[in-house]
Structure formats: C-alpha cells, structure tokens
Amino acid sequence: MKTSYVLAAGATAFGLSLLAFSTSASAQVADSLTIYNAQHEGLTKEWAQAFTEETGVVVTIRNGSDLEFANQIVQEGANSPADVFLTENSPAMALVDGKSLFEPIAQDTLDQVPGQFRPVNGHWVGVAARSTVFAYDKTKLTEDKLPKSMLDLATPEWKGRWAASPSGADFQAIVGALLQLKGEAATAEWLKGMKTNFTAYRGNSTAMKAVNAGQTEGALIYHYYYFGDQAKTGENSKNVALHYFKNEDPGAFVSISGGGILASSKHKPQAQAFLKWLTGKGGQKVLRDGTSFEYAVGKDEASNKALVPLSDLKAPKVEPSTLNNAKVTDMMTAAGLL
C-alpha cells in the first residue's frame, strides 16, 4: 500500500517501530511535510533540499505522475498523507480542486505570482511554467518550411512527418488548451488529423531523440527537454532546433506547474510556508540557476538566461482552473490516440 507514512520514508522492514517513534516524537512530526510530487524529480529534490536548509522542515517526497496522484488524492480524501501536491501541468490541479480538496493559498503567496500564472479562485498557485514548442530536425527543415500554427500539423502536408507523446500529462495539457481556445469540434477535427499524421513515442525525451536521429522531422513537446539535453552532452539534440509558434497560437501554450495544499493536511503552516518559499526568491532562484530550465513565474523573478524570455512567447490566454483532462482523454480515446 502506497499510502503509509512509513513506506514513504523507505523503511518498510522497520515500519511499525518507526511509526511508533514518529507519532510519539511530535516535535519531529510537526516540522515535517509530505509532498506528492509529479514535477520532474530532480527539480523537486533541489527545491526540497534548499527549503529544508533554510527552514529545518523535513520534507518527504513521493514521486508519481500528474493524473495518477490527482486520482489517488481523490481516492484518499480526508485520509491522504499528502500535505502538498506539485504537478507538471494544471489539469491535475483542476481535477483535485474540482473535488474541493484544496486549502486556499495564503494571500501573501498569491501576491508573489502574477494573475496569469494562477487560477482565479486562489485554491492553488503556479510555481513554474513551460512552453509548448515544435522541436525540429534542423538538418532537414528551414524556418520557411515550419508549420505557422500547431493546427497545420493536422493537414495532409504533415502526414507521417511528426511525433508526440500522447499518453503524457504534458501533451494532454496542450490538447486541453486547444479545447479551451478552439472548442470541441475543432479539437476533435485536429485530433483526427493528428492520428493520421503523427508517430507516437512514450515520453517527450524519446520523441526528441527520434527527431535528433532523423526518424521524424519534428515533435510537439515542451522547451526544457531541449535545454536540459544541451546543458549535458547535447547528444540527443545536436540536430534539433526549437520553433516557437507565438502569435497566441494554441501551439504557443504556456503550461503552468501547480502547487496546492491539501485541505486534509495536518501540517498546514509548514505547507503554506513551503509554497510561499517556492513562489518567492528561494524557489524561483532554483529555476533560474538550476538544471530544470523551466520558467520562473514569481513577480520580478528572472528565468534561466539560456531561455527565450517568457514575455516574447506571445502565449494564448488560457484559464488553468478549467482545463478539463477527463474531456481531453475521452476525446483522445475516441480519436484512437490513447
């Protein structure tokens, strides 16, 4: 069973004795925090270490994926051991919020994040952001041969020429944005064209690798997969360049990674302190100087210098709290994509 506090500490063999210890040592428990983490593991580890160093609050991280954890939180209800939920994208946050399982975020935390990076209701908050891109084979395609809009990828011109990872929360968030921006009929039509035209890969890194290896001409992914690889050896992206659709195109969608506090949390002050830190100087500095290459979203907080500035991306306006993942997966299933 994945839900026990002791299992989270990775001490299954000594579970009972440790459980007894942690419930009696109340000071230790009061200064701890459990995160259900669907963000990239490396990033949340960097965040948690820096936060613990500054505050002394011990952080336990359990790793999983956006929708897997969202559904688990709904199942667990009031018994969830999670204090904080961190996601890669907004739809999983919207799912949990739809069941009224979030504690409102403190106003001084919300005030640190501009309105476009958080839901209007303040039940969770954006902690980082990522841009949709068309990662293309620069040895085959030049600027003038690139799609002007993400919608072009569903036209006959692009048959058999591009890739994506449809099973991932990253891609499903993009489809969610398309649905909000263009409506159901246009989205169904696009998904139908996608099914005809694209090749499925499991994971965005794998899709980018396929572009790099000349197996496909482009992939619809997020920007940081490229920058992360470039910062290492660049071996999976040396033939790759990024195309930003801009122009408020659905393909210029900027997805918000969310942070929320569970209404059932027994450590609300620590959870509030963590999200305040995450959206403030400390957490945003990790985005700027670390190796995640995700965008900072804090007011007046700069992103990593290697990135195209967020303000230049001309992203479409999308309300994160109404991104509807259930509808998206239904439509993708109907189109034969899942």
Q: Which of residues 41-80 bind Fe ion (CB under 5 A)?
A: none
Cβ at position 14, least distance to Fe ion in Å: 35
Query: Which of these segments, 114-122, 133-141, 166-174, 228-236, binds Fe ion (CB under 5 A)?
Result: 166-174
Count how many residues are written for the chain.
338
Cβ at position 327, least distance to Fe ion in Å: 21
Query: Which of these segments, 92-100, 119-127, 163-171, 267-275, binds Fe ion (CB under 5 A)?
Result: 163-171
- Residue 229 binds to Fe ion (criterion: CB under 5 A): no
Give me the residue whose beta carbon is nearest to Fe ion.
Answer: 170
Cβ at position 147, least distance to Fe ion in Å: 22
Cβ at position 55, least distance to Fe ion in Å: 27
Query: Which of these segments, 42-50, 140-148, 165-173, 263-271, binds Fe ion (CB under 5 A)?
Result: 165-173
Nearer to Fe ion, 38 or 273 (CB): 38
Query: Which of these segments, 10-18, 41-49, 116-124, 167-175, binds Fe ion (CB under 5 A)?
Result: 167-175
For Fe ion, the binding residue among 66, 83, 170, 229 (CB under 5 A) is 170
Q: Which residues bind Fe ion (CB under 5 A)?
A: 170
